[in-house]
Amino acid sequence: MKILLIRFSSIGDIVLTTPLIRCLKLQTNCEIHYLTKKSFQGVLAHNPYLHQIHTIEKRVKEVLPTLQKEQFDYVVDLHHNLRSQQVKMLLRSQSLTFDKINVQKWLMVNFKINRLPKVHIVERYLATVAQLGVKNDGLGLDFFIPSKDEVAPTNLLFEAGFKADTPYIAFVIGAAHATKRMTSEKIIELCRAIPLPVLLIGGPTDVEAGKMIAANAGAHVVNTCGNFNLNQSASLVRQARWVISHDTGMMHIAAAFQKEIVSIWGNTIPDFGMYPYYAQNVQRNITVEMKGLGCRPCSKIGFEKCPKGHFACMNQIPNEAVLKVISS
């Protein structure tokens, strides 16, 4: 059996499909192909359960002739948008489609009526292929780091004035949307109170924020943002004592390593079903959020600024809620 999985973006969403990839491969021994955007190919590049990764820049037609030659038995649509609908229509294979529960999300965002299923998105992804006899193996998420991208934190810890074997905090400062991120000023305030070395983790878009935070938060804070690729940053996260993260892709990568996480939530909510997902009987996430705000969630994704102007969902989070966890 030959199957095409579709998930175009983004880092976290793709990582959350990895239990399905593994279970599908090991339980059916099928040949699995994956269609995603070229910019996210690296998330899956070292996954041993995939036969081939197909990528697009913008349009499906870029890769359509290649896909048509494969003659897939099934197309499993885990994105469920216009592009993925186009792929299913043009390939004419049997298809299985993920339910994005958009109506329930719309009710929650616009009217604060909670009809969201109390089921993690990983479970809902797996339910999409249940008719193929696939069951959850309970092993959690996967993220594979090639040996060439493993990073020793030794020099970074020396830079912060600590010994090489000192436990450290990996603080993932970024997120795709501003309303999912603490302000730099609040991160500085929090970092100043952390008694352990702190490595700031982020990509190219977080470089300036990382520099500013490190310059003002104390000598124990080291900015790595933009200095490492995704796999290298994941390596630093894997070796951390604690991971502090917003609702973002690196949070899910940290969960793949079964790390102890403090997940900080702004305009989005864990009830959407995308909180850190661990192996069966493992729970190492502490959720920090401002419950009871009438404006939250204001979006299922996020905005570039708070629609209300006060940004209470992040600004009112007490630093003590985080410090209490990492000091225990």
Q: Please, are residues 47 and 142 in contact by the beta-carbon 8 Å criterion?
A: yes
Q: Which CATH class is domain 152-326?
A: alpha beta
- What integer pLDDT is reported at residue 93 of this predicted model? 96
pLDDT digits (tens, 9 = 90+) for 274-291: 999 999 999 999 999 999
pTM above 0.95, yes or no: yes
- What integer pLDDT is reported at residue 328 of this predicted model? 66
Q: What dihedral angle (degrees, nearest 10) is formed by the CA atoms of 315, 321, 324, 327?
A: -50
- What integer pLDDT is reported at residue 163 of this predicted model? 95
- pLDDT band at residue 326 under the 50/70/90 scheme: confident
- What integer pLDDT is reported at residue 327 of this predicted model? 78
- pLDDT band at residue 184 under the 50/70/90 scheme: very high
Instruction: Sketch the domain layout of the chain as residue ranges.
Output: 2-132, 152-326
**What gap in Å lies between CA 21 and CA 26, rounded to an integer?**
9
Helix ranges (H only) for the chain are 11-15, 18-28, 64-70, 82-91, 102-111, 121-128, 154-159, 184-193, 207-217, 230-238, 249-256, 312-315, 319-326
Angle at the Cα of 116 from the Cα atoms of 115 and 117, rounded to 5 degrees: 115
- What integer pLDDT is reported at residue 201 of this predicted model? 98
131 CB-side CA count, 13 A: 8
Per CATH, 2-132 and 152-326 having the same topology is answered yes
In this structure, which CATH number among 3.20.20.100, 3.20.20.20, 3.40.50.2000, 1.20.810.10 belongs to the domain 2-132? 3.40.50.2000
Q: Nearest-CA neighbor of 5 among 40, 43, 31?
A: 31
Average pLDDT over residues 304-310: 96
pLDDT digits (tens, 9 = 90+) for 89-140: 999 999 999 999 999 999 999 999 999 999 999 999 999 999 999 999 999 9
